[in-house]
Amino acid sequence: MALRGNACIGQSGGPTSVINATMVGAVEAARDIDGIERFYGALHGLQGVLDEDLVDLFREDPDHLAALRYCPSAAIGSVRLKPKEEHLQRALEVFRAQNIRFFFYNGGNDSQLTCHLISELAKSSDWEMCIIGVPKTIDNDLVVTDHSPGFGSAARYAAAAVQFAARDSEAFGNPHVVEVMGRHAGWLTAATGVGAVEAGDAPHLVYVPEVPVTREQFVEDVAEHFQRWGTCVVAASEGFTFAGETEFQVSDKVDSFGHARLGGVAQGLSDVIEEAGIAKRCRNDKLGNLQRCFAWAASETDLEEAYAVGREAAVRASRGETDVMITIERESDDPYRWECGVTSLVSVADQTKLVPREWLNERANGIGDEMRRYVLPLIQGRVFQMEPGLPRYPKLARHFVEKKLPPSAPSK
């Protein structure tokens, strides 16, 4: 017998320019599904589930909710929380108390692991549920899926930012290092390489964490390009380090998943360039959180796919599918064609997709044709017209759901 009850969605990890499109896609699809009675948003992801902080998304004005499709960041809040056994048990108690039979968790590999753990617990309980992971990460490091919603827009912004930085660098003839997000996977940094179409175009050098190069090679690379072009723009991942050396870190602090805070690459590489005597001054920039929230650079492809995976999650859950993650399957590069698919959560949970070595050039300081073919369709399409004034985005009315359980112990 098909399940009938309420649905709940949570947003997790770093927000993106298109994560709200996924939420809107799920809610709008659910309105036409008979088995879904109410649709709740968990404020701040899993933490909202644990605290029973839920808002009724079906009570939002449909036009107001639809406008959130173009709003960056996470409208219902996000979280970075590594769940313990008591968290999973509490989540199941909340689902039972609120008659939640469908749960969607929108995030990266850590979030998909959380989703899988909840699914496993539900299977061993007396509370039948359909639990589906929905992909999201600007890092693009989820396995199985061709790429992840959020990546295309972040790549578009990062690639454009490098081009703008290059023009500024040319004005004074200084080397310039641009730090791009990417701890272990350099997809976002590699994507900036599509801006180099002709000889001498920036970025002149691209370095990703998957393939460390020696300090000596880095100095040789920069010196060669600076002498040839009178400038040298370097794009480097925040997780990049020289072979045999430690990461560039700005803090010893870690998050709940044990990830160190990175962010010293741009300054560190600039210092190396100056100390090598290549130039008296090397400029540097860290793109920071703008990579994941600069909605004016959103890709039309990315926005469309983000909305589609949300709809697909709701539809598949209504059919009884569970313990799976929605995927994007590429059918062709030119013309670009794709469709939604599905894979088991266990196949993606806590896994990391790295940039293939063969997609880089011989010296691992730039990209190859395969990377260019992969990235270009994902950054196409203009979503927003540059109208006068600043953007104004709607906010949820937040119709809170009545709590059924006593408060849980604080998460640690």
Confidence band for 389, pLDDT divided at 50, 70 and 90: confident
Q: Is 108 part of any domain?
A: yes
Residue 23 shares a structural domain with residue 47: yes
Residue 159 shares a structural domain with residue 288: yes
Beta strand 36-42 with 54-56 is antiparallel
351 vs 250, higher pLDDT: 351
Residue 118 shares a structural domain with residue 206: no
Q: For residue 166, what is the domain's CATH number?
A: 3.40.50.460
| pLDDT for res 399 | 97
What mean pLDDT do residues 326-341 have? 97
| 318 vs 185: CA distance, rounded Å | 34
Residue 162 shares a structural domain with residue 120: no
| pLDDT for res 257 | 54
Residue 58 shares a structural domain with residue 109: yes
| 18 vs 21: CA distance, rounded Å | 5
What mean pLDDT do residues 122-126 have? 94
Contact predicate 137/14, CB 8 Å: yes
Contacts of 265 (CB under 8 A, 6+ apart): 177, 179, 236, 237, 238, 239, 240, 248
| pLDDT for res 254 | 59
Q: Is 262 part of any domain?
A: yes
Residue 155 shares a structural domain with residue 287: yes
Contact predicate 107/74, CB 8 Å: no
Final residue of a structural domain among 273, 294, 315: 294
Contacts of 112 (CB under 8 A, 6+ apart): 105, 133, 135, 142, 325, 345, 348, 349, 350
Q: Is 93 part of any domain?
A: yes
pTM attached to this predicted model: 0.94
Residue 56 shares a structural domain with residue 133: yes
Residue 132 shares a structural domain with residue 61: yes
Q: Is 405 part of any domain?
A: no
| pLDDT for res 382 | 74
**pLDDT of 1 strictly over 60:** no
410 vs 262, higher pLDDT: 410
Write the pLDDT tens digit of every residue in 32-53.
Answer: 999 999 999 999 999 999 999 9
Final residue of a structural domain among 252, 270, 294: 294
| pLDDT for res 253 | 61
What mean pLDDT do residues 132-159 have? 98
| 276 vs 271: CA distance, rounded Å | 8
Q: Is 389 part of any domain?
A: no
Confidence band for 176, pLDDT divided at 50, 70 and 90: very high
| pLDDT for res 77 | 97
244 vs 158, higher pLDDT: 158
What mean pLDDT do residues 294-309 have? 96
Of 109, 166, 33, 29, which Cα lies nearest the Cα of 348?
109
| 297 vs 143: CA distance, rounded Å | 25
| pLDDT for res 153 | 97
**pLDDT of 335 strictly over 70:** yes
What mean pLDDT do residues 189-205 have? 96
**pLDDT of 408 strictly over 90:** no
Residue 180 shares a structural domain with residue 87: no
| pLDDT for res 17 | 96
139 is catalytic: yes
Which one of 51, 53, 139, 323 is the catalytic residue?
139
Note down the domain range covering 121.
5-137+296-350
| pLDDT for res 391 | 83
What mean pLDDT do residues 385-398 have? 80
Contact predicate 33/315, CB 8 Å: yes
Confidence band for 255, pLDDT divided at 50, 70 and 90: low
**pLDDT of 18 strictly over 70:** yes
Q: Is 366 part of any domain?
A: no
| pLDDT for res 234 | 98
Query: Which amino acid belongs to residue 408?
Result: S
Residue 241 shares a structural domain with residue 301: no
- Specify whether the backbone of 350 is left (phi greater than 0), alpha (psi in -120 to 50) or beta: left
Residue 127 shares a structural domain with residue 170: no
Cis peptide before 356 (omega within 30 of 0): no
| pLDDT for res 226 | 97
Q: Is 142 part of any domain?
A: no
| pLDDT for res 261 | 59
| 150 vs 67: CA distance, rounded Å | 18
**How many domains, the chain?**
2
**DSSP H helices in 230-281:** 265-275
Beta strand 205-207 with 54-56 is unpaired
Report the residue count for the chain: 412
Q: For residue 345, what is the domain's CATH number?
A: 3.40.50.450
Write the pLDDT tens digit of every residue in 227-253.
Answer: 999 999 999 999 999 999 877 755 556
Contact predicate 18/32, CB 8 Å: no
pLDDT, the chain, mean: 93
| pLDDT for res 246 | 78
Residue 175 shares a structural domain with residue 98: no
- Specify whether the backbone of 203 is left (phi greater than 0), alpha (psi in -120 to 50) or beta: beta
